[in-house]
Structure 1
Amino acid sequence: MSQPTDSSAHAASPTDADAFDASFDGHAPPLRLAVIGAGPAGLALALLAARYLPQAQISLFDARPLERDVSGDPRTIALSLGSVQLLQRLRVWPASQAQAIREVHVSQAPPTLSSPFFGPAGEPEVRISAAEQSVPQLGAVLPYGHLVAPLQAAWQQASALEPHRLISRFGQPVDAIKQDRPDEVEIDAGIAERFDLAVVAEGGVFSDQARKSLTHDYRQNAWVGTVTLSPDSPVGVAYERFTRRGPLALLPLPDRDGQRRAALVWCQGQDEDEVAGLTDAQRLTVIQHQLPERVGRLQAISPLKCFPLGLNAERTLVEGRRIRIGNAAQTLHPVAGQGLNLGLRDAFALVEALRRDPQVDTALRRVEWQRAPDRWATILTTDFLARTFAWRWPGLPAARGLGLAALQALPPLKRALAGQMMFGRR
């Protein structure tokens, strides 16, 4: 049995369970909750449950050793306003490390219909600003490590205050999850232990995942990295550009050493993907050519990493006494940028349902029903958009352009889209 590699990581033991059970008088039996995966979704769920489910004993499992420093992980996370507000409520939002999104600009690159009614450049576009939506920001962007580090520190602090109730199991991978009784689930992490509920929050990327009930390989690659923008580039603007080969996105990052930066997500069809053979200068030239002029001049580009893209989703969140959240439930194309936001909304809904109804099965049915509209609207919309970039139908770019123009011209539709971007479907 592997053990946590840090003395502050508190491993579960029969003594812990006995001590916690002894604090109840039999009128309200404790909920034994296992959270598997200490990424952003799993940590947020564990913290929410620690705060709002005082009757719960929570064990947080992760194969990663506790002493492994996650703060330097440079992967970029885009969060909606609703996710930012949730993290602020948990007092773990690293505001100084994040760049607020003040405006989202979605447009389509030529060839497409052009018209003086479309926008300043005659191209179809949608512009959504925080000011017109009467909110301080539409969302925020920050490195993965700068999000996980304060979440993990908050969990460890809470665990130190209540070691019998909040149990850290870092450095202990979960080998199996079984259910042979209707009211319990068995977790095998070196030894078998029984819990009332297991939450699977381990995500991963599409290429490394076991296939779920619904799966589709888009045969697209996402090239990700960062670009340096010109000093006069607009601050806090997220760009998404629909190109013939796939979407191209720039997400604003905090300035570093006085330089304005943006995270790059550059999607290419695998049959046409020539990015690997390009030099940095050539990559900058190609990207610059595809972006709208208002972005300004790109100054530099980092090394890029490539990730194959696909849909990999379960039909349901709940299976017996096991529930999946975030990428463990659905891995999506990045065109909508909603993967982690879905996971955080899943976490909040689960804790709220358990807070309202201590009957686990009833609470799980509530979560399945409550989360379905938001979850399936996001899955289907993202899947549709991703598939359209592989289609070569005559008139498709024109139809997509007209759709963007209609959104920009009809404020009620744009408000509805902005609301879904910020808070999901409610």
Structure 2
Amino acid sequence: MPQTDLSPISAAPGAAVLHDVLIIGGGLVGASLAIALDRLGLEVGLVEATAPGALPAVFDERNLSFAEATVNALTALGVMQKLRAPTGAIERIHVSRAGDFGRSVLEAAKYGRSEFGRIVVARDFGEALEARLAELARLRRYRPMRFLGLADGGSDTRAVRVADVDGERVLHTRLLVAADGTRSGVREALGIGVDEHDYAQTLFVTRLRSERAPDGTAYERFGADGPTALLPRGDRSFGLVHGVARAEADAVAALDEAAFLARVQTAFGWRVGRFLGCGPRSAYALTRVLAQALTAPRAVLVGNAAQTIHPIGAQGFNLGLRDALTLAELIENARRETNGAGFDCGDTAVLAQYAARRREDRGRTVAFSDGLARFTANELPLLRPLRSLGLFAADRLPSAQAYLVGAAMGYRGDVPALCRGGTQPGALA
């Protein structure tokens, strides 16, 4: 039988429930982790702020760029098969910078691939995750429920204070997972600090129609105020991402459709012809937030709670999913080694391995997105020839292209087996 939304504590007031893993946050990464853990025979709980029948706010009209590694993993987890709306293939990536010479074009076909990845609308992905979550037999979903803080759980468990319409209660877990986003309440309760950098940019996101329909090309055009990207959706529209200086964000938000399209056309150019129309616009202030540690005793951070990075290069969700899948893989491996006898998901060795496994991928991805965002936005005249030389190298030098292609496809560092086309974790005998 699929799980219900009635928590065991609600069913039996006062009863203590011990989870192997308790995930706070039912967004993109938290839900994906719950799915990855389901067949390991563990007691997993998922605390979600939204009620049954509703999707978290993160599942909006944003366009998610799934690297090939992400597509592999989500297919193995049975999520891609649940998508009802068409997705868009990324067959090539076209990169340029306003005011600089040169451009770089990466072709998937040159690397024996039909595509680098796919464009998926966040709302469609949310519906697919929900459909897959509904099939999980062991998962206990607590919704709508809010995280309040931590209580004394002793050395063997974490005690987590939560609240729903019936009031406050305490859940117990051997491993607490913070998947509750950039302003993570769990991270704060654990006493893990953050390093922040405000890019002073705001991104506008919408669906855009143009004279020429998408042909599999993802365009990223850099500028002083951030990138303007056109992503090939599956509905014959483009997903638009348009960066503006924070000081101009209110004025840009107030533009009517025609004026907004004219602004974007000026920033992007005419590579896909005239822009004809766009859907509702959403705006997001860009701030990099990096947790100073990925683990605490019996606790771990994943996704945006661990790092929220500049979306340039479309690395954010792909990185967060690799967090979740690495954790699931380490739990599976450690449990297999003990045959499940006395296995503890919150063991310090598992957490140490997680921090070590994520170090290279996280460090290189953060450095790539942050460096690219700063370098491409800087208007110093001396940087223009350097950027043009970089675009030339990226277009002509095999080593430079190979690095960019590996990053675009999600194969950076020690990635989980599911990302490389491995099999879905299975129940232990």
- Tell me the amino acid that sits aligned with residue 24 of structure 2: I
Residue in 1 aligned with 2:73?
86
Identity over aligned residues, as a percent?
29
Is 1:132–2:121 an aligned residue pair? no
> Unpaired segments of 5 or more residues in structure 1?
1-6, 22-29, 115-123
Deviation of 1:285 after TM superposition, in Å, equals: 2.0
The amino acid of 2:126's aligned partner reads V
Aligned to 2:223: 243
What SS is found at the alignment partner of 2:51?
A: coil
Partner Cα distance (1:151, 1:195) in 2? 24
Cα distance in 2 for partners of 1:70, 1:35 equals 15
Structure 2 letter corresponding to 1:402: L
Q: 1:95 to 1:64 in 2, by over 3 A?
A: closer
Quote the residue 1:384 is aligned against. Answer: 371
1:276 alignment counterpart = 253
Q: How does 1:7-22 map to 2 (within 5 A)?
A: 8-13=4-9
CA offset digits 1:214-253 (Å, max 9, x no partner): 10111111111121022x3442211100123221111111
Q: Secondary structure at the match of 1:202?
A: coil
- Quick one: structure 1 residues 179 and 240, their matched pair in 2 at CA, closer, same or farther if it must change by over 3 Å? farther
1:149 matches 2:133:
no
1:216 and 2:189 are equivalent in the alignment? no
Q: How does 1:377-416 map to 2 (within 5 A)?
A: 377-388=364-375, 391-416=378-403
Give yes or no for contact 1:49–1:351 (8 Å, CA) kept in 2: yes
Aligned to 2:52: 66
Distance 1:386 1:212 in 2: 23
| Secondary structure of the corresponding residue to residue 287 of structure 2 | strand
Q: For the residues of structure 1 that align with 2:48 and 2:214, how far apart are their CA atoms?
A: 40
In structure 2, relative to structure 1, the CA distance for the partners of 1:292 and 1:402 (3 Å cut) is: farther
Aligned to 1:330: 307
**Aligned position for 1:169:** 142
Kept in 2, the 8 Å contact 1:156–1:168? The answer is no
The Cα RMSD (Å) is: 2.8
Among 18, 25, 28, the alignment partner of 1:37 is 25
Measured after TM superposition, the shift of residue 318 of structure 1 is: 0.9
SS of equivalent to 2:233 = strand
Q: 1:275 to 1:11 in 2, by over 3 A?
A: same
- 1:274-316 deviation line (CA, Å, top 9, x unaligned): 5235332222222223324432221112232222111111022
SS in structure 2 opposite 1:132? helix
CA-to-partner distance for each residue in 1:185-228, whole Å, 9 max, x for gaps? 1111121122100111111579xx97952101111111111210
Distance across 1 between alignment mates of 2:283 and 2:106: 29
Are positions 1:227 and 2:208 aligned together? yes
CA displacement at 1:180 relative to structure 2 = 5.4
* Gaps in structure 2 of 5+ consecutive residues: 163-167, 336-343, 414-429
Instruction: Tell whether the 8 Å contact from 1:269 to 1:390 is kept in structure 2 after alignment.
Output: no
Does the aligned pair in 2 maintain the 1:179–1:320 contact within 8 Å?
A: no
* Counterpart mapping for 1:313-352 below 5 A: 313-352=290-329
Task: Answer yes or no: is the 8 Å Cα contact 1:81–1:139 preserved in 2.
Answer: yes
* Offset of residue 365 of structure 1: 0.8
Partner secondary structure for residue 404 of structure 1: helix
1:101 to 90, 97, 102: 90
- TM-score normalised to structure 1 length: 0.83
Read off the aligned partner of 1:183 and give its amino acid letter. Answer: D
The alignment covers a number of residue pairs equal to 387
Q: Give the alignment's TM-score, normalised by structure 2.
A: 0.83
Cα distance change of structure 1 residues 173 and 326 upon mapping to structure 2, 3 Å threshold: same
